[in-house]
Amino acid sequence: MDYDVIIVGAGIGGLSAGALLAKAGKRVLMLERAHEVGGRTRSKLIQGFRVPLGATAIQLDGVIPEICRSVGADMNVVEVSRTYFYIDGQIHALPVKGSLAKMLELFAQTGGKGKKKVMARMALEMAGAKAMQAMVRDSQRDAWDDSVSFRAWLLQHTDNPAILNLFHSITSSMSGVNDFEYPVKHWFAFASSKAMAGRFDKYGMSPEGFAAVSQSLADAFVRHGGDLVLNADVSRILVENGRAIGVSWTALGEVHEDRPKFVISNAGPRETLALAGRETLAPHYVDRVESRVRAAPIVVTAVATPFEPMEQSGMVVAAGLNRVVSFGWLTKIAPNLAPSGWHLTTFYGTPTSCLGPMDKAEETRLNIADARKIIPDLEARGGRILDVHCRNPDDDFALYKSWPGYDMPVETSIPNLFNVGDGVKPLGFIGTPAAALSARHVVERIL
């Protein structure tokens, strides 16, 4: 069959692009190498628990709900829309607006009380206020260099160790990248009103996990006439005379070669380069992919408990720990992720550096220690560590295909070959909203 578009990969970016194009009347073939759709919204089965491989929170406002409504994909999502702050063994609710200021206030109170020194508390409050004032002022600038990290910017305004540690936790939980490696340009872009379509100010969870929303997009794609093939191994994007002319793929031992008008890759910029062959793309594009794109590592610790691990149902930003920067009690909203009578909590840690391979044994030790600190007497109360997944940048389930702020455009140097996904994020966007928005941008170019 002749296709208008072939999509390589059925993550959120590929599914969003496919559903939109199929609804617009395009003949679309989507190829996914796994046995199910969803990419990093899928889960893996561990001792009867469905542990998410990536995203858990789902936007209630913004680009993903807009696409789902547009293509008729069901979003069975329970609203959470609450964020909390863990510090000094306590979890505090944060307001919808002014959460950063509230975290600074709580941090100052805790630090001052712990040291029993009024001067220490005053120093924290003054340093925090100065940093906040500078943030409001400098967020209006547009000409930030990518090489300036958030930590480098913050050090211009405070050298208070407690404030630096707090912002490390906030930045890492927000971006998945250490603040001393994360570009301040992206911090300000993410916090701006321009990026509201990618924000999680209102969010929820599906009782079946994020994979249910991905499957709903896939169902909409097929319903609109799209062809979806699972367990499909794409070996090559065929390029001739500067254009993508076909895709070679195998399924059930049979080799196929289809020749569409457009090719969309949801595999990531580096993987797309390998599939097309670096010799087929312009040298300047190849150089930019190889020098700029950097995948983000993460450590995910899954904990099972026969008791409720906390009262709160939303995501929790954590400060003052070894590695863990955020965590959440998933089965409060999604009970089907665990066997009856059990609860699943996941903890997210940023390694000592996001630039290369981590020391998995040391990261495992530190992340487990943090989980045990957050849930005291974990094993004594019948709970257990289910899994610690240390995902290096080359892992299929790394946090992002490229750090926030280090993305490529959706276009390649081949005019009918595009990328979608979180490796081609618009500035200020992260995670699944970024992948969906990249899909919308590509669809606009094709239509």
Mean pLDDT, rounded, of the chain: 89
- Residue intervals of the chain classified under CATH 3.90.660.50 are 296-391
330: confidence class by pLDDT, cuts 50, 70, 90? very high
Interhelix angle 161-175/99-115, nearest 10 degrees: 140
Distance CA 354, CA 336 (A): 33
User: Which of 148, 218, 133, 134 minimizes the C-alpha distance to 179?
Assistant: 148
> Assign residue 25 a region: left if phi > 0, alpha if psi is -120 to 50, beta otherwise?
left
Residue 112 has a pLDDT of: 44
pTM of the model: 0.92
Going through 113-196 in order, the beta strands assigned E by DSSP cover none
* Position 33 pLDDT exceeds 70: yes
The string of pLDDT tens digits covering residues 81-121 is 888 989 889 998 887 666 766 777 676 665 544 444 544 55
Interhelix angle 283-292/269-276, nearest 10 degrees: 140
Residue 147 has a pLDDT of: 78
The string of pLDDT tens digits covering residues 364-415 is 999 999 999 999 999 999 999 999 999 999 999 999 999 888 889 999 999 9
193 or 333: which carries more pLDDT confidence?
333
The string of pLDDT tens digits covering residues 45-83 is 999 999 999 989 898 888 999 999 999 999 989 888 888
User: Which of 313, 377, 298 minimizes the C-alpha distance to 344?
Assistant: 313
Residue 377 has a pLDDT of: 96
Distance CA 426, CA 409 (A): 8
Q: Are 263 and 280 in contact (CB under 8 A)?
A: no
* Segment holding 162, helix H or strand E: helix 161-175
Question: Which has the minimum average pLDDT: 84-93, 211-220, 226-235, 417-426?
Answer: 84-93
- Residue intervals of the chain classified under CATH 3.50.50.60 are 5-77+207-294+404-446
Q: Is domain 112-198 classified as CATH 1.10.405.10?
A: yes
Identify the burial level of 245 via C-beta atoms within 10 angstroms of its C-beta, where 0-12 means exposed, 13-18 middle and 19 or more buried: middle
- Residue intervals of the chain classified under CATH 1.10.405.10 are 112-198
Beta bridge pairs of residue 349? 299, 324
21 or 156: which carries more pLDDT confidence?
21
Residues 6+ apart with CB under 8 A from 363: 299, 323, 349, 351, 352, 390
Instruction: Give CATH for domain 296-391.
Output: 3.90.660.50
Q: Which residue type sits at 440? A: R
Distance CA 343, CA 304 (A): 6
Q: Are 117 and 111 in contact (CB under 8 A)?
A: no
The string of pLDDT tens digits covering residues 141-198 is 665 677 788 899 889 888 878 788 888 888 888 888 999 998 888 888 876 655 555 5
Residues 6+ apart with CB under 8 A from 376: none
Residue 341 has a pLDDT of: 96
Percent helix, percent strand, percent coil in the chain, to nearest 5: 40, 25, 40
Residue 121 has a pLDDT of: 55
Residue 425 has a pLDDT of: 86
Write down the architecture of domain 5-77+207-294+404-446 according to CATH: 3-Layer(bba) Sandwich (3.50)
Tokens of 376: 């005291």
Q: How many helices (H) and strands (E) does the chain have?
A: 12, 20
Q: Are 404 and 293 in contact (CB under 8 A)?
A: no
